[in-house]
Amino acid sequence: MSLIDILRQYVDNKAPANANDAHDHFDTVAEAAPRDVLGQGVADAFKSKNTPAFGEMVAQLFTHSDPNQRAGLLNQLLRSLSPGLLATLGSGALGRLASGGGGSTPQVTPEQASQMSPTDVKEIATHAERNDPKAVDGVGDFYAQHPQLVKQLGGAALAIALAGVAKRMRR
């Protein structure tokens, strides 16, 4: 089945009846679609009212990521937070990352990322989304670089992401 045939199935958010097809379709689309378009589709899934909250989804992806991916995700999220906000968050997850940051956005290492819990990441993602609505788009773009991880979100989220890609590829 061609890319166009696959995407045609998701136009107007009409997913195939078999949710497992979304996993296979996502693989095909992730290989062929431009990364920015795939990232916007993933962001659509994060923003959808038909999926869990952004922080919950990011925490789920974090649990399936390797230490380098975890650090990359956290660094992406931290870019959405002002140094002032980081400094005011005290002893929570954000405060731990901000300590020693010297007033600028800290860079999380894979070792530091490995010490963070999914609950910490959920908190950070929630703060990032509130602080900067574009944080969701940034995380979508980040995970477009790691499409195998996106498949952990399940068929419904993949169908929404594929619908977003289909909408943008029609333009």
Q: For residue range 141-167, what is the model confidence (pLDDT) as tens digits?
A: 999 999 999 999 998 899 999 999 999
pLDDT cut 90: percent of the chain above it: 61
CB 92, CB 159: distance < 8 Å: no
Write the CB contacts of 19 (distance below 8 Å, at least 6 apart in sequence).
Answer: 154, 155, 156, 159
- Amino acid making up residue 41: G
DSSP per-residue letters across 26-46: HHHHHHHS-HHHHHHHHHHHH
Tokens (6 digits) for 137: 């788009």
pLDDT at residue 40, as a whole number: 98
Confidence of residue 50 (pLDDT cuts 50, 70, 90): very high
Write the CB contacts of 132 (distance below 8 Å, at least 6 apart in sequence).
Answer: 80, 81
Give the start-to-end residue ranges of the domains of the chain: 35-169
CB 46, CB 122: distance < 8 Å: no
- Amino acid making up residue 104: S
CB 96, CB 78: distance < 8 Å: no
Q: Is the pLDDT of residue 13 over 80?
A: no
pLDDT, mean over the chain: 87
Tokens (6 digits) for 99: 């300590």
> Token pair 């980081």 is at which residue?
86
